[in-house]
């Protein structure tokens, strides 16, 4: 029996105007943007629909903007009746997955990621941390590199294990630079610095994790209605208390995306539907396993096309 996973993108997938066309046409979709505005007491929807891009890209805006847009698109797509057997999200996208699975209410999800963005932004002074994508080097030799550099007093670690041959490293600016040089010496094809405002998913995020714990402690989290395959362990989890602990850990631990996708495939998933702006996750999933079906839903046209394709496959 075919199994379906809904997956939700993280930072980097945001674009000015995302969700706007659907929101203008469908009042229930617009309802999500209005709810986010009211919950955060700010004109987030205006920023999402009109920009400016520089403001939308600030992590404390990007995070609630992406969660809101992805949930609004999911609400529209759910009319198709297609159900997910599993949900997962990449980094920030994990929060969208948790709202989709009923662990957090939409309003609490928006507040949580707004706070998460603020804590991440302020955990490390601007310019002192960075991230870079390392292409063409496996995790084991790259781990040896980051460990050696960290032991020299320049913290750096694996942050996103995205797919074979694509791993993001994160840490102090000096640590990332040194690790980049050593990674090339070890056989990496390219090292690309990323435009981010901090060293996410590294040990330098531990102060932000403690602040996030206080916020999540004040929220009502329920057991998941469907298993959530979580970033930290790449395992399906349904228990609210375990999910909360893993959300704290997620801030300073690597995103095990490749292993998460492989785990879902092992559990019978052969269809992945990316819900939200862009096609980043669909691209990564294809690189992890070419045999599975991947779809991306970001607007009405793509939603209809996916519904049609899945109807033919009788999912």
User: Looking at residue 24, which CATH number applies to its domain?
Assistant: 3.40.366.10
Report how far Cα 299 is from the mean position of its chain's Cα atoms. 19
- Total number of domains in the chain: 2
Q: Which of 196, 215, 235 is the last residue of a domain?
A: 196
- Name the residue among 7, 220, 30 with its Cα closest to residue 94: 7
Q: How confident is the model at residue 312 (pLDDT cuts 50, 70, 90)?
A: confident
Region at 268 (left for phi over 0; alpha for psi -120 to 50; beta for the rest): left
How high is the pLDDT of residue 257? 98
Give percent of the chain above pLDDT 70: 99
Residue the block writes with tokens 């899945």: 310
* Same-domain status, 119 and 136: no
How high is the pLDDT of residue 37? 98
* Same-domain status, 15 and 86: yes
Neighbours of 198 (CB within 10 A): 24
* Same-domain status, 156 and 113: no
Does the structure show a pLDDT above 80 at 283? yes
How high is the pLDDT of residue 125? 85
* Same-domain status, 110 and 234: yes
Catalytic residues: 91, 201
How high is the pLDDT of residue 311? 82
Q: Which of 173, 196, 219 is the last residue of a domain?
A: 196
CA distances from residue 95 to 25, 89, 174 in whole angstroms, order as listed:
26, 7, 31
How is residue 135 written in tokens? 């292409």
* Same-domain status, 214 and 163: no
Q: Which of 196, 219, 253 is the last residue of a domain?
A: 196
Does the structure show a pLDDT above 60 at 158? yes
Q: What is the DSSP letter of 232?
A: T
Q: Yes or no: say if 230 and 94 are a contact pair by the CB < 8 Å rule.
A: yes
- Average pLDDT, whole number, for the chain? 96
* Same-domain status, 51 and 100: yes
Q: Yes or no: say if 112 and 95 are a contact pair by the CB < 8 Å rule.
A: yes
How is residue 64 written in tokens? 């609630």
Instruction: In whole angstroms, give the CA distance from residue 266 to residue 255.
Output: 19
How high is the pLDDT of residue 127? 82
* Same-domain status, 99 and 220: yes
Angle at 290 between CA 285 and CA 294, to 5 degrees: 50
Q: Yes or no: say if 221 and 248 are a contact pair by the CB < 8 Å rule.
A: no
How is residue 80 written in tokens? 């198709």
Neighbours of 239 (CB within 10 A): 13
Q: Yes or no: say if 96 and 89 are a contact pair by the CB < 8 Å rule.
A: yes
Give percent of the chain above pLDDT 90: 93
User: Looking at residue 139, which CATH number applies to its domain?
Assistant: 3.30.70.250
* Same-domain status, 164 and 255: no
- Among 31-35, 127-131, 212-216, the minimum mean pLDDT is found in 127-131
* Same-domain status, 183 and 307: no
pLDDT, tens digit, for every residue of 35-88? Answer: 999 999 999 999 999 999 999 999 999 999 999 999 999 999 998 899 999 999
pLDDT, tens digit, for every residue of 191-233? Answer: 999 988 789 999 999 999 999 999 999 999 999 999 999 999 9
Q: Yes or no: say if 260 and 234 are a contact pair by the CB < 8 Å rule.
A: yes
- Among 81-90, 158-167, 203-212, 304-313, the minimum mean pLDDT is found in 304-313
- Name the residue among 144, 168, 164, 143 with its Cα closest to residue 258: 164
Does the structure show a pLDDT above 70 at 315? no
Domain that holds residue 165: 129-196
* Same-domain status, 119 and 133: no
Q: How confident is the model at residue 1 (pLDDT cuts 50, 70, 90)?
A: low
* Same-domain status, 101 and 187: no
């Amino acid at each position: 029996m075919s199994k379906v996973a809904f997956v939700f993108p993280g930072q980097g997938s945001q674009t000015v105007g995302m969700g706007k066309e659907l929101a203008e046409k469908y009042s229930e979709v617009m309802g999500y943007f209005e709810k986010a505005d009211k919950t955060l007491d700010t004109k987030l929807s205006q920023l999402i629909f009109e920009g400016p891009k520089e403001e939308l890209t600030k992590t404390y805006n990007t995070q609630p903007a992406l969660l809101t847009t992805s949930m609004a698109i999911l609400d529209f797509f759910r009319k198709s009746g297609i159900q997910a057997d599993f949900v997962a999200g990449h980094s920030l996208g994990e929060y969208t997955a948790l709202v989709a699975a009923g662990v957090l209410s939409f309003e609490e999800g928006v507040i949580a990621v707004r706070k998460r963005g603020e804590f991440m932004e302020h955990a490390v002074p601007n310019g002192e941390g960075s991230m870079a994508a390392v292409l063409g080097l496996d995790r084991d030799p790259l781990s040896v590199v980051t460990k050696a550099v960290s032991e020299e007093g320049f913290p750096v670690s694996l942050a996103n294990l995205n797919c074979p041959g694509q791993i993001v490293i994160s840490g102090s600016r000096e640590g990332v630079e040194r690790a980049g040089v050593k990674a090339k010496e070890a056989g990496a094809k390219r090292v690309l610095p990323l435009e981010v405002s901090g060293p996410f998913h590294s040990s330098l995020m531990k102060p932000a994790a403690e602040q996030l714990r206080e916020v999540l402690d004040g929220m009502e989290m329920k057991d998941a209605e469907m298993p959530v395959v979580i970033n930290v362990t790449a395992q399906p989890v349904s228990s609210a208390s375990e999910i909360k602990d893993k959300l704290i850990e997620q801030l300073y631990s690597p995103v095990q995306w490749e292993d998460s996708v492989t785990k879902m495939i092992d559990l019978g998933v052969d269809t992945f539907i990316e819900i939200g702006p862009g096609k980043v996750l669909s691209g990564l999933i294809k690189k992890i396993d070419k045999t599975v079906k991947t779809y991306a839903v970001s607007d009405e046209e793509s939603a209809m096309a996916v519904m049609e394709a899945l109807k033919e496959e009788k999912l």
